[in-house]
Amino acid sequence: MAFQNKNLSVIAYANGFTLWHYAAASDTVENITADGYFNNVKTLMNTGDIIMINASDNTTIKKVVVADTNITTAALA
Residues 39-50: tens digit of each pLDDT: 999 999 999 999
Average pLDDT of every residue of the chain:
96
User: Could you read off the pLDDT of 5-44 as tens digits, one per residue?
Assistant: 999 999 999 999 999 999 999 999 999 999 999 999 999 9
Give residue 69's pLDDT: 86
User: Is-contact 61 49, C-beta < 8 A?
Assistant: no
Give residue 77's pLDDT: 83
Separation of alpha carbons 56 and 66, rounded Å: 25
Q: How confident is the model at residue 1 (pLDDT cuts 50, 70, 90)?
A: confident
Give residue 12's pLDDT: 98
Global confidence as pTM: 0.93
